[in-house]
């Protein structure tokens, strides 16, 4: 990609992105093309496919839960075309790194609402929490703990007592205790890897001056 094009892309994306400045956008675009492994080919949409993206989530942001990582990919891949393009990359990272609590709540709720029906149901919770407890062979029903944990979570978050979490329920609970933002699994970078990532990507402001 030539300089002019990059400059133009940077300008466009910066205009549409409220959390990053021009330099940061520029860095992230460069990183994106580094990760994709080359410049845009004629006629083809370039982007990170599911596996490549999951790899980044795992290596860079320390995520481990397969299902959650899939959901994060979907969160990034707005147009549902199976790959994250540069626009989606910038937008996603904007939320990842700089998102406000509101943005993050919206995003997390979407991640947790597996079937996208606007509610996090008991089943969805169970699904997301099923690996969260150490299996104890002594117990007759190995899922009992998980079921109990789901009940505990509902008790804590289901304010309208309808047996499922609406966004309103979720929002209320998170505003009460921010720790519940990622209640059903880490879908945002943890502070440490976030700091490392930013330090690495935004490290050289001189490059910006060169442009």
Partner 1 sequence: MGVALRKLAQWTAAGHGTGILEITPLNEAILKEIIVFVESFIYKHPQEAKFVFVEPLEWNTSLAPSAFESGYVVSETTVKSEEVDTNGQPLLFLSVPQIKIRSFGQLSRLLLIAKTGKLKEAQACVEANRDPIVKILGSDYNTMKENSIALNILGKITRDDDPESEIKMKIAMLLKQLDLHLLNHSLKYISLEISLSPVTVKKDIELLKHFSGKGDQTVLESIEYTSDYEFSNGLFLNGVSKFLKTKGSIYKNLVTFLREKSPKFSENMSKQGISFSEDQQKEKDQLGKAPKKEEAAALCKDISGSDKRSLEKNQINFGRNQMTKRWEPSLNWKTTVNYKGKGSAKEIQEDKHTGKLEKPRPSVSHGRAQLLRKSAEKIEETVSDSSSESEEDEEPPDHRQEASADLPSEYWQIQKLVKYLKGGNQTATVIALCSMRDFNLAQETCQLAIRDVGGLEVLINLLETDEVKCKIGSLKILKEISHNPQIRRNIVDLGGLPIMVNILDSPHKSLKCLAAETIANVAKFKRARRVVRQHGGITKLVALLDCAHDSTKPAQSSLYEARDVEVARCGALALWSCSKSHMNKEAIRKAGGIPLLARLLKTSHENMLIPVVGTLQECASEENYRAAIKAERIIENLVKNLNSENEQLQEHCAMAIYQCAEDKETRDLIRLHGGLKPLASLLNNTDNKERLAAVTGAIWKCSISKENVTKFREYKAIETLVGLLTDQPEEVLVNVVGALGECCQERENRVIVRKCGGIQPLVNLLVGINQALLVNVTKAVGACAVEPESMMIIDRLDGVRLLWSLLKNPHPDVKASAAWALCPCIKNAKDAGEMVRSFVGGLELIVNLLKSDNKEVLASVCAAITNIAKDQENLAVITDHGVVPLLSKLANTNNNKLRHHLAEAISRCCMWGRNRVAFGEHKAVAPLVRYLKSNDTNVHRATAQALYQLSEDADNCITMHENGAVKLLLDMVGSPDQDLQEAAAGCISNIRRLALATEKARYT
Report, in Å, the least distance between residue 93 CB and partner 1.
14
Please identify which residue in 79, 143, 162, 177 interacts with partner 1, judged by CB under 8 A.
177
Report, in Å, the least distance between residue 115 CB and partner 1.
20
| Phi, psi dihedral angles at 56 (to 5 degrees) | -65, -45
Beta bridge partners of 22: none
Give the x/- contact pattern for partner 1 in 44-83, rule: CB under 8 A. Answer: ----------------------------------------
Q: What's the CA gap between 56 and 181, in Å, rounded?
A: 22
Please identify which residue in 156, 159, 196, 208 interacts with partner 1, judged by CB under 8 A.
156
Task: Return the exposure string of 20-58: e unless at least 16 CB atoms fall within 10 Å of the residue's CB, then b.
Answer: bebbbbbbbbebbbebbeeebeeeeeebbeeebbbebbe
The number of residues that bind partner 1 (CB under 8 A) is: 34
Token pair 């062979």: residue: 137
The residue among 49 and 182 lying less far from partner 1, judged by its C-beta, is: 182
The 3 state secondary structure assigned to 138-157 is: CCCCCCHHHHHHHHHHHHHH
Binding positions for partner 1, rule: CB under 8 A? 98, 100-101, 104, 128-129, 131-134, 136, 145, 148-149, 152-153, 155-156, 177-186, 190-192, 194-195, 198
């Amino acid at each position: 990609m030539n300089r002019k094009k990059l400059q133009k892309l940077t300008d466009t994306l910066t205009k549409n992105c409220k959390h990053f400045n021009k330099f940061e956008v520029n860095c992230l675009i460069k990183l994106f093309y580094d990760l994709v492994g080359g410049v845009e080919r004629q006629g083809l949409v370039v982007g990170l496919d599911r596996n490549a993206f999951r790899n980044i989530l795992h290596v860079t942001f320390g995520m481990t839960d397969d299902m959650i990582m899939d959901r994060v990919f979907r969160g990034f891949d707005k147009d549902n075309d199976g790959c994250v393009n540069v626009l989606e990359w910038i937008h996603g990272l904007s939320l990842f790194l700089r998102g406000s609590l509101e943005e993050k709540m919206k995003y997390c709720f979407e991640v947790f609402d597996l079937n996208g029906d606007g509610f996090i149901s008991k089943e969805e919770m169970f699904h997301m929490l099923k690996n969260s407890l150490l299996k104890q062979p002594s117990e007759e029903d190995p899922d009992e703990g998980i079921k109990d944990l789901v009940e505990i979570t509902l008790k804590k978050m289901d304010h309208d007592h309808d047996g499922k979490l609406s966004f309103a329920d979720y929002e209320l609970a998170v505003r009460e205790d921010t720790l519940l933002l990622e209640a059903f699994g880490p879908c945002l970078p943890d502070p440490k890897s976030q700091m490392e990532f930013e330090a690495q990507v935004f490290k050289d402001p001189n490059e910006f001056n060169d442009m």
